[in-house]
Amino acid sequence: MQRRVLWTVDVGWEQATEAEAAAMVGWLRSARNPQRHRRRGGGFPAGSVNPTTGKRVLAAGYAPATIAHNLSAVHGFYAFHLHFGRGPVLNPVPENRARRATLAHRSPLRVPGRHRRGRLRPKVPVRQPRAIPDAQREELFAQMRCTRDRALLACYVSSGARATELLGVGIADVDWQKGRLWVVSKGTRDRQPVPVSPEALAYLAAYLDGAGLPEDGGPVWRTRRGEPRPLTYWAARRILQRATEQLGMNWTLHDARHTAATRFARDPAMTLAEVQTILRHAHVTTTALYTVVGLEDLVDKLAEHYGRPAQPAAWSQPYDPQDVAVVFGAR
């Protein structure tokens, strides 16, 4: 993105300054994101809230997190070349010394302190992960067109694997006896196991029985039309999009991971450290985000609360009722 801005203002990357970085931020704040372009009409407006799921529809422009990521990438690019004596003497993206001082030599058990945002840095809102409710998950499952799609959705919801991780699973990566799948982790690139439910394995077996085993150790998930090819992320994303459009929802593949994580974290028989191991989070603070209970999860408890009669105020036995009446007045 920075290269496009430099080409527009006719400035070489060796002469870039904070003014060019500010121009990039200004362009990202006002430009429309081509990934948000909707060719089909009739959907919910960009930035609105879906009434069925309660989840916000993506805005038409670039999100603050995307702008912050671009700034970090540009800062790292110039910091790398500055180490070898190339490029401008001063990094075009200002450093946030307050943030560096706050996070330096900090124990992971301590809550990080507050710090000011650096120049050009947008305010990134903290979004709580949203899980697909059970009723809507059943509707999505019923909307799947074939056994492959049902097996794919069941594996996503029960394993908590990321979208690209699950699509790379081969037949040798399926442990039928222990009920787990081996995936290549996104962060470490290590081959790690993830759990999967018996129901998902049953659908996976039915899918392989009908489609056949992959050849030459290829991935399990393949296309159904024409010559079988590995199922890409965009194809798997479109499978879920077709189902959500029919139901008026806006759930994504990553919401399936949030769903599995929320179910794990709220299971009283599982500890937070165990859930961290299953989700392969680097920090337990990331796993703790799934323990937050939303208002939509308290509907039944709130109904019971409002149905109970109001309890009168009662004082503990050691207090004399006459003394209470003198201090607080008669009631």
> Domain ranges in the chain?
5-97, 134-275
Q: What is the mean pLDDT of residues 131-144?
A: 92
Q: What is the mean pLDDT of the chain?
A: 87
- Token match 């704040």: residue? 29
At 16, list the tokens.
Answer: 């870039």
Rg, C-alpha atoms of the chain: 26
Instruction: Show contacts of 215-221: CB within 8 Å, 24+ apart.
Output: 217/170, 217/171, 217/172, 218/170, 219/167, 219/168, 219/169, 219/170, 220/169, 220/170, 220/171, 220/173, 220/174, 221/148, 221/152, 221/166, 221/167, 221/169
Residue 296, pLDDT score: 73
Helix (H, G, I), strand (E, B), or coil: what is residue 53?
Answer: coil
Q: What is the mean pLDDT of residues 102-119?
A: 71
Cα distances (angstroms) measured from residue 304 to each of 184, 281, 298, 300, 310: 46, 36, 10, 6, 12
- Which range among 11-25, 75-89, 91-105, 277-291 shows the weakest confidence by mean pLDDT? 91-105
Residue 87 pLDDT > 70: yes
User: Where residue 128 falls among pLDDT bands split at 50, 70, 90?
Assistant: confident
| Model confidence pLDDT, tens digit, residues 198-257 | 999 999 999 999 999 988 778 999 999 888 899 999 999 999 999 998 999 999 999 999
Residue 39, pLDDT score: 62
| CATH homologous superfamily for the domain 134-275 | Intergrase catalytic core (1.10.443.10)
- Which range among 195-199, 238-242, 275-279, 291-295 shows the weakest confidence by mean pLDDT? 291-295
